[in-house]
A = this chain, B = another copy of it.
Amino acid sequence: MQKYFISDLEFSSKILTNEVAFQIINVLRGKVKEQFLIGVSGKTYLAEITGIKNKEVEFEIISEKDGNFELPFFVSLFQGYPKADKLENIIKYGTQLGVYDFHPTLMKRSIFKLVENKKNNKLARFNKIAKEAAEQSFRDIVPEVMDIKDLKKIDFSMYDVKLVCYEETAKAKQFTAFKQEVKKLKKGSKIAVVVGPEGGIEEEEIIHLEKQGFIKVGLGPRILRTETVVFYVMSAISYEWELEE
Protein backbone atom coordinates (compact mmCIF):
# COMPACT_ATOMS: atom_id res chain seq x y z
CA MET A 1 0.00 0.00 0.00
CA GLN A 2 1.27 3.44 -0.91
CA LYS A 3 2.19 5.90 1.85
CA TYR A 4 2.08 9.68 1.49
CA PHE A 5 3.23 12.40 3.81
CA ILE A 6 0.79 15.28 3.90
CA SER A 7 0.52 18.61 5.68
CA ASP A 8 -1.48 19.34 8.84
CA LEU A 9 -3.75 21.54 6.73
CA GLU A 10 -4.50 18.76 4.24
CA PHE A 11 -5.11 16.43 7.16
CA SER A 12 -7.61 18.71 8.86
CA SER A 13 -9.41 19.64 5.63
CA LYS A 14 -9.45 16.00 4.41
CA ILE A 15 -8.67 17.29 0.94
CA LEU A 16 -5.46 16.61 -0.95
CA THR A 17 -4.19 19.02 -3.54
CA ASN A 18 -0.86 19.53 -5.25
CA GLU A 19 1.66 16.73 -5.62
CA VAL A 20 0.02 13.97 -3.62
CA ALA A 21 -3.31 14.49 -5.41
CA PHE A 22 -1.45 14.41 -8.74
CA GLN A 23 0.23 11.13 -7.76
CA ILE A 24 -3.03 9.52 -6.71
CA ILE A 25 -5.05 10.69 -9.70
CA ASN A 26 -2.58 10.57 -12.56
CA VAL A 27 0.12 8.10 -11.59
CA LEU A 28 -1.72 5.49 -9.53
CA ARG A 29 -5.12 6.01 -11.21
CA GLY A 30 -6.73 5.95 -7.78
CA LYS A 31 -10.50 5.42 -7.45
CA VAL A 32 -13.13 6.05 -4.79
CA LYS A 33 -13.07 3.41 -2.00
CA GLU A 34 -9.36 2.70 -2.53
CA GLN A 35 -7.17 2.92 0.54
CA PHE A 36 -3.76 4.39 1.21
CA LEU A 37 -1.55 5.36 4.14
CA ILE A 38 -1.11 8.88 5.38
CA GLY A 39 1.85 10.16 7.36
CA VAL A 40 1.29 13.38 9.29
CA SER A 41 2.99 14.80 12.39
CA GLY A 42 4.84 11.52 13.00
CA LYS A 43 1.66 9.43 12.97
CA THR A 44 0.36 7.01 10.36
CA TYR A 45 -3.29 6.58 9.35
CA LEU A 46 -5.19 4.29 7.02
CA ALA A 47 -7.28 6.49 4.72
CA GLU A 48 -9.89 5.89 2.02
CA ILE A 49 -10.64 7.96 -1.06
CA THR A 50 -14.20 9.37 -0.86
CA GLY A 51 -14.14 11.60 -3.89
CA ILE A 52 -12.00 12.78 -6.80
CA LYS A 53 -12.90 16.13 -8.30
CA ASN A 54 -10.87 18.20 -10.71
CA LYS A 55 -7.40 18.00 -9.31
CA GLU A 56 -8.36 17.26 -5.72
CA VAL A 57 -8.76 14.06 -3.73
CA GLU A 58 -11.17 13.87 -0.77
CA PHE A 59 -10.53 11.22 1.82
CA GLU A 60 -11.61 9.99 5.22
CA ILE A 61 -9.59 8.40 7.98
CA ILE A 62 -10.37 4.75 8.65
CA SER A 63 -8.02 4.13 11.56
CA GLU A 64 -4.74 5.07 13.15
CA LYS A 65 -2.00 2.56 12.39
CA ASP A 66 0.86 1.47 14.56
CA GLY A 67 3.86 3.28 13.26
CA ASN A 68 6.91 2.02 15.03
CA PHE A 69 9.09 2.07 11.96
CA GLU A 70 11.58 4.43 13.58
CA LEU A 71 14.85 3.60 15.25
CA PRO A 72 14.70 4.23 19.00
CA PHE A 73 17.48 6.84 18.51
CA PHE A 74 17.90 10.05 16.55
CA VAL A 75 20.87 9.78 14.20
CA SER A 76 21.96 13.10 12.69
CA LEU A 77 24.38 12.72 9.78
CA PHE A 78 26.94 15.48 9.30
CA GLN A 79 28.14 14.48 5.85
CA GLY A 80 31.27 16.10 4.46
CA TYR A 81 29.98 17.58 1.22
CA PRO A 82 30.99 15.12 -1.53
CA LYS A 83 31.45 15.49 -5.27
CA ALA A 84 28.82 15.25 -7.97
CA ASP A 85 25.49 13.70 -7.07
CA LYS A 86 26.77 11.45 -4.30
CA LEU A 87 24.78 13.32 -1.68
CA GLU A 88 21.58 12.28 -3.43
CA ASN A 89 22.38 8.59 -2.96
CA ILE A 90 23.43 9.23 0.62
CA ILE A 91 20.10 10.93 1.36
CA LYS A 92 18.03 8.32 -0.48
CA TYR A 93 19.64 5.24 1.04
CA GLY A 94 20.31 6.91 4.39
CA THR A 95 16.59 7.72 4.70
CA GLN A 96 15.66 4.12 4.01
CA LEU A 97 18.13 3.01 6.62
CA GLY A 98 16.69 5.35 9.27
CA VAL A 99 18.70 8.59 9.43
CA TYR A 100 16.82 11.23 11.46
CA ASP A 101 18.20 14.29 9.69
CA PHE A 102 20.94 15.27 7.28
CA HIS A 103 23.43 18.12 7.66
CA PRO A 104 25.47 18.69 4.48
CA THR A 105 28.73 19.94 5.92
CA LEU A 106 31.55 21.90 4.30
CA MET A 107 34.91 20.50 5.35
CA LYS A 108 38.52 21.29 4.42
CA ARG A 109 38.64 18.67 1.69
CA SER A 110 35.17 19.30 0.28
CA ILE A 111 35.61 20.22 -3.35
CA PHE A 112 32.05 21.52 -3.58
CA LYS A 113 31.80 25.29 -3.87
CA LEU A 114 28.67 26.74 -2.38
CA VAL A 115 26.84 28.94 -4.87
CA GLU A 116 24.39 30.92 -2.76
CA ASN A 117 21.74 31.46 -5.43
CA LYS A 118 21.62 27.74 -6.29
CA LYS A 119 21.51 26.59 -2.70
CA ASN A 120 17.78 26.76 -2.17
CA ASN A 121 17.08 24.73 -5.30
CA LYS A 122 19.56 22.13 -4.16
CA LEU A 123 18.08 21.90 -0.68
CA ALA A 124 14.56 21.66 -2.11
CA ARG A 125 15.70 18.78 -4.31
CA PHE A 126 17.43 17.01 -1.41
CA ASN A 127 14.31 17.33 0.73
CA LYS A 128 12.16 15.94 -2.07
CA ILE A 129 14.46 12.90 -2.32
CA ALA A 130 14.20 12.38 1.44
CA LYS A 131 10.40 12.59 1.31
CA GLU A 132 10.09 10.06 -1.50
CA ALA A 133 12.51 7.66 0.17
CA ALA A 134 10.61 8.04 3.48
CA GLU A 135 7.33 7.17 1.73
CA GLN A 136 8.84 4.14 0.03
CA SER A 137 10.32 2.79 3.25
CA PHE A 138 7.22 3.58 5.36
CA ARG A 139 9.06 5.89 7.70
CA ASP A 140 6.94 7.63 10.34
CA ILE A 141 8.74 10.89 9.69
CA VAL A 142 10.44 12.60 6.78
CA PRO A 143 14.11 13.26 7.59
CA GLU A 144 14.89 16.91 7.07
CA VAL A 145 17.89 17.99 5.01
CA MET A 146 19.19 21.04 6.84
CA ASP A 147 21.07 24.03 5.57
CA ILE A 148 24.64 23.59 4.30
CA LYS A 149 27.07 24.69 7.00
CA ASP A 150 30.77 24.94 7.66
CA LEU A 151 32.00 22.26 10.08
CA LYS A 152 33.61 24.83 12.36
CA LYS A 153 30.35 26.75 12.76
CA ILE A 154 28.25 23.84 13.95
CA ASP A 155 27.16 23.65 17.58
CA PHE A 156 27.16 19.99 18.62
CA SER A 157 26.23 20.60 22.26
CA MET A 158 22.72 19.13 21.92
CA TYR A 159 23.98 15.63 21.05
CA ASP A 160 24.36 12.85 23.61
CA VAL A 161 26.73 10.71 21.55
CA LYS A 162 29.24 12.11 19.06
CA LEU A 163 31.05 9.85 16.61
CA VAL A 164 33.47 10.77 13.85
CA CYS A 165 34.21 8.03 11.32
CA TYR A 166 37.93 8.25 10.70
CA GLU A 167 39.91 6.32 8.12
CA GLU A 168 43.14 6.48 10.13
CA THR A 169 41.41 4.80 13.06
CA ALA A 170 40.32 2.01 10.71
CA LYS A 171 43.81 1.72 9.19
CA ALA A 172 45.30 1.41 12.69
CA LYS A 173 42.88 -1.49 13.19
CA GLN A 174 41.20 0.12 16.17
CA PHE A 175 37.83 -1.51 15.92
CA THR A 176 36.44 -1.31 19.44
CA ALA A 177 35.06 2.21 19.90
CA PHE A 178 32.11 1.99 17.50
CA LYS A 179 30.60 -1.18 18.92
CA GLN A 180 31.14 0.01 22.49
CA GLU A 181 29.29 3.24 21.75
CA VAL A 182 26.46 1.52 19.87
CA LYS A 183 25.89 -0.95 22.70
CA LYS A 184 25.73 1.92 25.22
CA LEU A 185 22.98 3.82 23.40
CA LYS A 186 19.88 4.64 25.39
CA LYS A 187 16.34 5.01 24.08
CA GLY A 188 16.02 8.53 22.71
CA SER A 189 19.79 9.13 22.42
CA LYS A 190 20.68 11.95 20.04
CA ILE A 191 23.64 10.81 17.98
CA ALA A 192 25.83 13.04 15.81
CA VAL A 193 27.78 11.12 13.15
CA VAL A 194 30.45 13.02 11.20
CA VAL A 195 31.66 11.55 7.89
CA GLY A 196 34.44 13.16 5.83
CA PRO A 197 34.21 13.99 2.12
CA GLU A 198 36.18 11.96 -0.50
CA GLY A 199 39.60 13.14 0.61
CA GLY A 200 38.92 12.37 4.25
CA ILE A 201 39.03 14.52 7.35
CA GLU A 202 42.02 16.71 8.13
CA GLU A 203 43.80 16.20 11.42
CA GLU A 204 43.00 19.75 12.46
CA GLU A 205 39.31 18.99 12.00
CA ILE A 206 39.63 15.82 14.07
CA ILE A 207 41.22 17.83 16.89
CA HIS A 208 38.41 20.37 16.66
CA LEU A 209 35.83 17.58 16.92
CA GLU A 210 37.60 15.81 19.75
CA LYS A 211 37.54 19.02 21.76
CA GLN A 212 33.77 18.91 21.43
CA GLY A 213 33.50 15.40 22.76
CA PHE A 214 33.66 13.39 19.55
CA ILE A 215 35.01 9.84 19.62
CA LYS A 216 36.95 8.51 16.61
CA VAL A 217 35.58 5.25 15.27
CA GLY A 218 36.88 2.80 12.66
CA LEU A 219 34.38 0.69 10.75
CA GLY A 220 36.35 -2.43 9.96
CA PRO A 221 39.31 -3.29 7.75
CA ARG A 222 37.93 -2.37 4.33
CA ILE A 223 38.28 1.31 3.52
CA LEU A 224 34.80 2.63 2.87
CA ARG A 225 34.15 5.43 0.45
CA THR A 226 32.36 8.46 1.79
CA GLU A 227 28.95 7.34 0.49
CA THR A 228 29.12 3.91 2.11
CA VAL A 229 29.95 5.02 5.65
CA VAL A 230 26.43 6.00 6.67
CA PHE A 231 25.03 2.75 5.26
CA TYR A 232 27.36 0.85 7.56
CA VAL A 233 26.57 2.99 10.61
CA MET A 234 22.80 2.78 10.21
CA SER A 235 22.75 -0.93 9.37
CA ALA A 236 24.93 -1.74 12.35
CA ILE A 237 22.76 0.26 14.76
CA SER A 238 19.62 -1.43 13.42
CA TYR A 239 21.24 -4.87 13.60
CA GLU A 240 22.31 -4.28 17.20
CA TRP A 241 19.03 -2.85 18.44
CA GLU A 242 16.19 -3.85 16.11
CA LEU A 243 17.00 -7.47 15.34
CA GLU A 244 16.59 -10.10 17.98
CA GLU A 245 18.35 -13.35 18.67
Asked whether any CB of chain B lies closer than 8 Å to the CB of A227, the reply is yes
Q: Nearest chain B CB to A138's CB is how many angstroms away?
A: 5
Contact (A222, B89) CB under 8 Å given A236-B236, A239-B236, A245-B176:
no
Whole-angstrom CA separation of A227 from B242 in the bound complex: 20
Q: Is the CB of A224 within 8 A of B97?
A: yes
The number of chain A residues touching the other chain, given as a range, is 35 or more
Residue of B nearest to A217 (CB): B243
Could you say which of A74-82, A116-124, A178-186 contacts chain B? A178-186
Asked whether any CB of chain B lies closer than 8 Å to the CB of A225, the reply is yes
Whole-angstrom CA separation of A91 from B236 in the bound complex: 20
Q: Is the CB of B220 within 8 A of A238?
A: yes
Q: Nearest chain B CB to A187's CB is how many angstroms away?
A: 15
Question: A242 touches which one: B133, B175, B242 (CB < 8 A)?
Answer: B175
Contact (A179, B245) CB under 8 Å given A136-B225, A232-B235:
yes
Whole-angstrom CA separation of A157 from B93 in the bound complex: 33
Residue of B nearest to A237 (CB): B239
Question: A235 touches which one: B136, B138, B236, B242 (CB < 8 A)?
Answer: B236
Residue of B nearest to A69 (CB): B221
Q: Is the CB of A232 within 8 A of B97?
A: yes
Whole-angstrom CA separation of A219 from B228 in the bound complex: 18
Whole-angstrom CA separation of A245 from B180 in the bound complex: 5
Q: When A and B form their complex, which 9 residue pairs have the shortest distance between CB atoms, in order from nearest?
A: A235-B235, A236-B239, A231-B231, A232-B235, A220-B242, A179-B243, A220-B238, A175-B243, A176-B244
Q: Nearest chain B CB to A76's CB is how many angstroms away?
A: 17
Whole-angstrom CA separation of A133 from B222 in the bound complex: 11
Q: Is the CB of B239 within 8 A of A235?
A: yes
Contact (A239, B96) CB under 8 Å given A89-B89, A222-B69:
no
Asked whether any CB of chain B lies closer than 8 Å to the CB of A17, the reply is no
Contact (A68, B221) CB under 8 Å given A93-B227, A231-B231:
yes
